[in-house]
Structure 1
Amino acid sequence: MKASVDMNITYKIMSSLSFEDAHVLFNRGFEGYIIPMNLSFDAFVSRFGNTGLSPALSIVAYDGIEPIGFVLQGIKELDGQKISWNGGTGIIPKYRGRKLGGSLMAEAEQLIKEQNVTVATLESLSENKPAIALYERCGYKVEDNLLFLRGDNVLHSTLPSLEDYEILRMPADQLIGSNLFPAIVPWQTEASSISKIGGEAMMISKDGEIQGACLIRKKCEFGNKTESITLYQVMENGNEDALNKLLAHALEYDQPVQRTTYNFLKGNGHAVSSLLASGFENTSVSQVFMTKFF
């Protein structure tokens, strides 16, 4: 790949590095970050498999023979279009402030364009204004804010009666390729991503018609009660009664459970209002969801 006119910078795909060296680069790239990421080697390797990242689609910047920065990327095909995800951009501390971010992003973009990607996506911490500004200069636009809400312990003493509604439950992987949830969403909240970590879908229907649905992941040991539940996505059609019942049953409001949302779209206004009214609270973490269309 081409060399940058700035310093002696060249670019190669991440598979040019061993996983051990890539792991060291990853942790160095996030040193001093707003929320530091210092992954173990096993967690770093698992990140590729669990989130669909690819060393062959990820880019590394070198100064001579020293790896100094990276963009992790993956691609999936949904609804007939290829969608990419920037799963992490980092530059080691001594090379920050040298305007390497733009050229690093450009090299990463070239890789995904060669794979006929039509939509590129990423998330960035809301308070990381320099990173958001960089992505905007690269052509990305903020689509929505992402919430990390939390609601622990018993929220309702009893669950609401379902009356004429019915709750349906299935593994998330059974919804891959369906149009029940949108395709262009934060990468780790999409059905094919959460199916890799034991995700499931819960739907509420009435007279055979789905009134709402959500994607969740429960943590529990066999034979024991649920420890925690993570909510990733909600689909609703304006039936707030059905939505409230669905969330109460899916998130087990009557149990002493730890509940969180993960990269949850603020644009899901009815769902956010329902969660807050039921006792969820905002946390200090928030992100923005950004996209670029080719």
Structure 2
Amino acid sequence: MYNIKRLSECSLEDALQAWNNGFTGYMLDVQLTMESFLKRLVTEQTSPKLSLIAYHDNQPIGIVLNGTRNIDGKKVAWIGGIAVAPTFRGQGIGDQLLRETLSIYQSEDVKISTLEVLIDNEKAIQLYKRHGYVSVDRLQFYVHKDALDSSPFGDKCIKYEMKKAVPSEVRKLSFYKSMLPWQTQWDSVREGEVLIALDQEKEPIGYVIYKRNFNEQGVCTSTVLYQCEVSPEREDYKEITTCLLTQIYSPFDHKMKRMTMNLSVNNRVVLSLLKQAGFKMRLEQVYMGKMM
């Protein structure tokens, strides 16, 4: 007998067990400790009240994490993962979790639901399509693990002024893209950093959201790019992008992981520069959405 409960009614131990069991054998290693699970809930603003756990004989066998944000005056929801333990797959539990999730969204006056799914996970993609989701975009992860050439993005970088900022400041920019994938929105990168490129009149013309990770010795071990956008009115779009990427990924003689998070295939200038610098695509996801 299966039953579904709100995560807020369950123990954290059950939630963690449902997550780790549900993602057993998954294409990526997303096994979590209690510490990393709690951090994920907070960073991604997942709501225990809106998230669900499926049980069989009091054992957690499935989970769906959900969160909502107000974006451009609309309540937008995000599914941060649906997973079912291997023994119980193929029995419609994922379908039940998704139907219950959509019912919750309706009661919460959600207008748009979004999610990301690995492009090779055809079963999950078909599940979402049956419930009305459509493909909106393709998202790619790139990585470079070695030291880079002195000018990997080209040597024609015009020296625009760079202003340091906190992630929340980008929402004030006229060209900020608010409906990008959930984990790349400024709300999910509150611990990150921002650089805003300014023109000669001190007007913002581009920005980048990124996060640097450090080891115990204070050495930067990785830099993750979340957003890199330039005002569409600029004819020097590529030069501005070049300078932003150069700023966040330097020094280039330092060996570390340089990565991207959910980069849209439509961000062609950034993609071109990354490939030119030797970045390799690690994986690809489908960005899906549904009007409620």
Q: Which TM-score applies when normalising by structure 2?
A: 0.89
Structure 1 residue 91, shift from structure 2 partner:
1.1
Cα gap change, 1:45 to 1:233, in 2 (>3 Å): same
In the aligned structure 1, how far is the partner of 2:54 from the partner of 2:258? 39
Ranges in structure 2 where 5+ consecutive residues have no aligned partner: none
Distance 1:30 1:225, change over 3 A: closer
- CA drift of 1:162 comes to 5.3
1:58 aligns with 2:72: no
2:10 aligns with: 17
Deviations 1:126-154 (A, max 9, x none): 11110111111111111111111112333
Question: Pick from 55, 67, 76: which aligns with 2:60?
Answer: 67
* Alignment partner, residue 238 of structure 2: 240
AA aligned to 1:272 is L
Contact 2:15 2:63 in 1 (8 A): no
Question: For 2:40 and 2:212, how far apart are their aligned partners in 1?
Answer: 19
Give the aligned residue type for 1:273.
Answer: S
CA distance in structure 2 between the partners assigned to 1:84 and 1:76 by the alignment: 6
Conserved? CA contact 2:171–2:178, under 8 Å: no
Question: What's the CA shift string for 1:43-90, capped at 9, x where partnerless?
Answer: 112211121111111022233534322211011112211111111101
Any idea what SS the aligned residue of 2:224 has? Answer: strand
Q: How far did residue 179 of structure 1 move?
A: 4.7
Amino acid at match of 1:95: F
Match of 1:89 in 2: 82
2:280: which partner in 1?
Answer: 281
Distance 1:27 1:154, change over 3 A: closer
Q: Indicate whether 1:183 and 2:199 are aligned.
A: no
Superposed CA deviations along residues 83-123 of structure 1, whole A, max 9, x for unmatched, are 11111101112211112322220101111221111111111
* 1:229 matches 2:223: yes
CA contact (8 A) 2:136 2:289 kept: yes
Structure-1 separation of matches of 2:242 and 2:215? 27
Q: Read off the aligned partner of 2:187 and give its amino acid letter.
A: S
Aligned residue number for residue 161 of structure 2? 166
Alignment length, in residue pairs?
A: 284
Q: Match of 2:265?
A: 266
CA distance in 1, matches of 2:192, 2:134: 29
Mapped partners of 1:271, 1:253: distance in 2: 19
Match of 2:142 in 1: 149
Q: Which amino acid aligns with 2:249?
A: L
Matched, 1:251 2:244: no
CA distance in 2, matches of 1:211, 1:262: 22
Is the alpha carbon distance of 1:179 and 1:86 closer, same or farther for their aligned partners in structure 2, counting shifts above 3 Å?
farther
Q: Which residue of 1 aligns with 2:91?
A: 98
In the TM superposition, structure 1's runs of 4+ consecutive aligned residues that sit over 6 Å from their partners are none
For 1:178 and 1:163, how far apart are their aligned partners in 2?
22
Note if contact 1:122-1:290 (Cα within 8 Å) is conserved in structure 2.
yes
- Name the residue aligned to 2:290: 292
Partner of 2:188: 193
Tell me: CA distance 1:170–1:281, structure 2 relative to 1, closer, same or farther (3 Å): same
- The CA deviation at 1:221 is 6.2
| TM-aligned CA distance change 1:80 to 1:26, over 3 Å | same
Residues 178 and 13 of structure 1, relative CA distance in 2, 3 Å threshold: farther
1:219 paired to 2:199: no
Q: Distance in 2 between matches of 1:98 and 1:223?
A: 49
Distance 2:94 2:217 in 1: 49
Asked if 2 retains the 8 angstrom alpha-carbon contact of 1:75 and 1:82, the reply is yes
Checking the alignment, whether the CA contact within 8 Å between 1:78 and 1:177 is kept in structure 2 is: no
Query: Retained in 2: the 8 A contact 1:165–1:206?
Result: yes
1:48 and 1:183 map into 2 onto residues whose CA distance is 21
Please state whether the residue corresponding to 1:291 is helix, strand or coil. Answer: strand
Secondary structure of the corresponding residue to residue 227 of structure 1? strand
Instruction: State the AA in 1 paired with 2:284.
Output: S
- State the Cα distance separating 1:232 from its structure 2 match: 0.9
Identity %: 30
- Judged with a 3 Å threshold, the aligned counterparts in structure 2 of structure 1 residues 287 and 253 are, in CA distance, closer, same or farther, namely farther
Question: 1:176 touches 1:192 (CA, 8 Å); kept in 2?
Answer: no
- Kindly report the root-mean-square deviation, in angstroms, between the aligned alpha carbons of the 2 structures: 2.2
Deviation of 1:225 (Å): 5.2
